[in-house]
Copies of this chain bind each other. A is one copy, B any other.
Amino acid sequence: MGILGVLGGMGPLATVDFMSKVILHTPASQDQDHIPMLVSSIPQVPDRTLAYRGEGASPLEAMLLNVKRLVVGGANGLVITCNTAHFWFDEIRKAAKLPMIHIADAALETAAKATGHHPTLGLLATDATVASGLYFSREVSDVYGGRIQAEWVLPTVIEMNELVMPGIMAVKAGNILEGRRLLSRAGSCLKRRGAIALVLGCSEIPIVLKCEDLDILLIDATDALAEKAVNWSMNYGFKGSGRKN
C-alpha cells in the first residue's frame, strides 16, 4: 500500500475528520489492513481566504515546508484536506513531485454519480473557494467526461458574510453548535433557490452539517477525497496505477 501524505492542519478538526473517513472507507479486520498515512497537522499556516483576498500573507511557503516534512518522511502520494488551499494545488504538486488527488475532482465525480447529467448544485465553501472558481473551473475538465454539466447556485454576499464564513470560523474555534446553526441556514438558502444537492466544499462544513439537518443530498468533498485516497493507496504499485491520479 502507498503511504498517503496528508497536508492537514487547515483546520485540525477537518484533518481528524478526513482521517476518520479514510478509516471508514478501508476494508479492514485488523490494524495492519488499514492504509498507511503520514500526516502534517501543523496549523501555523497563514489564512488561505485572507491571502486570496489580498488581505494577508501567502500560505504557500508554510505549506511547502510542511509538504517537505511528508516527502522526507517517505510519503508516496499527497492530498490536501483544505479546499481553499487547492488554489495553490499546482505549485504544491510541482514542489512535491508526488501523485496528488484534487479534492474538487473527487467531489465532482461523487456528485456526477449521485445527481445525473444536469443537476443544480449548491456550493457551500469559503469566499476564496467560490471566487477562485475552484469547482467551476474543473466543470468542463475530464472529470465530468462529458457526462454532466452542472448549474451552480452560490451564496450571496450577505449569506457569505453573515452565515458561511462565520459558520466556518465557529467550527475552527470549536463552536460546533453555532457552526451548525449558521451553515444550516446558508444551506437552506441554496436549497430554496433550487439546489438539488449541496457540495460541501470547505472541510469544516461536513464536520457539522448532516443530511438530516437540511433534508437534501450532501456531497461531502472530504469524504469523496478519502474514498479516492483509499483506492489510490490500496492499488499503489499494481500495474503502475498508483503512480497516476
Binding site for B on A (CB under 8 A): 1, 3, 9-13, 15-16, 19-20, 23-24, 28-34, 36-45, 47, 69-70, 72-74, 169, 172-174
What CA separation (Å) do A44 and B28 show in the bound complex? 12
9 new A-B contacts, CB < 8 A, other than A16-B16, A39-B41, are A30-B172, A32-B45, A34-B41, A34-B43, A38-B40, A38-B42, A40-B73, A72-B72, A73-B73
Whether the Cβ atoms of A3 and B173 lie closer than 8 Å is no
**Closest 8 interchain pairs by CB?**
A69-B73, A36-B42, A39-B39, A31-B43, A11-B31, A37-B41, A12-B34, A29-B173
What CA separation (Å) do A47 and B32 show in the bound complex? 9
Whether the Cβ atoms of B174 and A42 lie closer than 8 Å is no
Stoichiometry, as copies per complex, reads: 2
Give the most central of A1, A12, A32, A36: most B CB within 10 Å.
A12
A11: chain B residues at CB < 8 Å are 31, 34
Give the most central of A29, A31, A33, A38: most B CB within 10 Å.
A31
What CA separation (Å) do A175 and B32 show in the bound complex? 16
Whether the Cβ atoms of A20 and B31 lie closer than 8 Å is no
